[in-house]
Structure 1
Amino acid sequence: MLTFIITAGGIGKRMGGSIPKQFLLLNDKPILMHTIERIHSFDATAQLIVTLPVDYLKDWEEMCQKYAFQIKHEVVSGGEERFDSIKNALEKASGDWIAVHDGVRPFVSKSVLNQLLLEVKSHRAVIPTIPVKESLRLVEGENSAAVPRNHYQIVQTPQVFEAKLIKKAYEQKYALTFTDDASVVESIGARIHLVSGNEENIKITNPIDLSIAGLILKDWGAKSD
């Protein structure tokens, strides 16, 4: 069995405004609903757990009623840090494999999802990445230096793990070095395996991302992937 934890426990300060970014409308409904629909269309049997800000649990219930959103999912309260939100969700996760996905990434491709689930069976911890296109510089105080971009990859979600592995990793205390689930799992000595992600799988964090997402949604309207 597969569990998807869709993390939407933050309030999206970079987007601005008073509404958390996961609840902003993309075309005709909240971004988070698009993301849940994307995962459900890939695997209708997967357990879906959604983390939400504790102050917005009632708001989400009202949104589901307003938009007649009926995809079955469990809701857990988000914590102070993303780490805490995932830890709360893991208590309810019953799958043999657990995927953690950002609630504001509605465009992961089904081919990427298939590859992640294929690879995790032999590698235990798998994440999607895409190459860096821009030039990079390492900044240290007043100095900076060019670094080879081929040494770096941009990390996406969902990140998929053997259930026993990620649950063990989340038994430890939070550290500032934990920027995603892979970094948490890596900290207990696990090796992270990379697969190619898809360019459209953007994380909607600011207004321009929302505009780009609208274009992607329009382009994907006639696509099955």
Structure 2
Amino acid sequence: MTASIVKVDPVVRRGDNVCLSRGEYRILKGSATFMTSTPTITALIVAAGVGARAGGERPKQYQEIAGKPMIRHSIEAFLAHPRIGAVQVVIHPEHANDYAEAMAGLTLLPPIHGGAERSDSVKAGLAALADQIPDYVLIHDAARPFLSASVIDRIVEALTPETGVVPTLGVYDTVRRYRDGVWEDVSREGLQRIQTPQAFPFGALTEIYAKGAFATDDAALWLAAGRVLKYVQGDEALNKMTTA
């Protein structure tokens, strides 16, 4: 007999399952009810920056690239992925109109306002998710539009309740440092470029931010707290945009 779905509120519909707030899936097969548990994952997109380096009348995350607003690319990638249950976006309070225009036609959680620094915005985003309590959160920069499903797959597959996960790429170009009027080569051995989305157990990361920690990179905070971090293959297309 074909399995059918029993709807239980509150829900978020994802493909052929009904996702409850704590990751519980209820599937009715014939006259028997089967209960399974799948981790819930929420994407948190940080888009509160002013994007001054990109120039233009609009902040860079709302400027058009490849036929649509920059921010919309990664949001659509998360919405299309079967393991992502919800998408929360953090925006600048003065960008509400730009955001509404860029997100036309998409179903998202209401945006929230970020702070002066990236870490302030992440902290605000985590607080907004406190009622949902997802098992994991993927934190992504809006200025990295070309996010592939394969990168999300690699990150999700590597997640555990004890570890964070970040995508990385090696450094292949020659790197030089200018110091005291002299250029010197820097060894590329062991160097990695860190990308986003960066993924963490929601509760553990929230605890770290609650202590007032500050960094431009969530993985740095995670490591500073003595936590374990895994690295997966990133994507050259996922580089951060400084111009649109």
1:193 equivalenced with 2:193 (yes/no):
no
Q: What CA distance in whole angstroms lies between the structure 2 residues aligned with 1:54 and 1:188?
A: 31
**Residues 123 and 193 of structure 1 are in contact (CA less than 8 Å); yes or no, is this contact kept in structure 2?**
no
The reply to whether residue 108 of structure 1 matches residue 147 of structure 2 is: yes
Normalising by structure 2, what TM-score?
Answer: 0.77
Identity %: 30
From the two aligned structures, give the one with the greater helix fraction.
Answer: 1
- CA distance in structure 1 between the partners assigned to 2:221 and 2:112 by the alignment: 20
In the alignment, what sits opposite 2:126?
A: 90
Q: Please tell me whether Structure 1 or Structure 2 has the larger radius of gyration of its CA atoms.
A: 2
User: Any residues of structure 2 matched to 1:57-206 within 5 Å, and which?
Assistant: 57-64=96-103, 68-93=104-129, 94-121=133-160, 124-175=163-214, 178-206=215-243
What's the TM-score once normalised by structure 1's chain length? 0.83
Relative to structure 1, is the Cα distance of residues 61 and 109 closer, same or farther in structure 2, using a 3 angstrom cutoff?
closer
Q: CA deviation at 1:160?
A: 0.4
CA RMSD of aligned residues (A): 1.8
Q: Structure 1 residues 127 and 181, CA, compared in 2 at 3 Å: closer, same or farther?
A: same
The higher relative CO (CA closer than 8 Å, separation ≥ 6) is in 1
C-alpha offsets along residues 171-218 of structure 1, whole Å, 9 cap, x if unaligned?
12244xx12111121221113211111111121112xxx3xxxxxxxx
What are the superposed Cα offsets for residues 118-164 of structure 1, whole Å, 9 maximum, x if unpaired?
Answer: 11126511100011111112343334432221220111100000112
Q: Cα–Cα, structure 1 residues 72 and 17, in superposed 2: closer, same or farther, change >3 Å?
A: same
* 1:88 shift after superposition: 0.3
Q: Gaps (5+ residues) in structure 2? A: 1-39
CA offsets 1:58-94 (integer angstroms, 9 cap, x no match) = 3322444xxx322323311010000000000001223
Q: Give the 3 Å change call, closer, same or farther, for CA 191–35 of structure 1 in structure 2.
A: same
Q: Is the 8 A contact 1:112 1:197 kept in 2?
A: yes
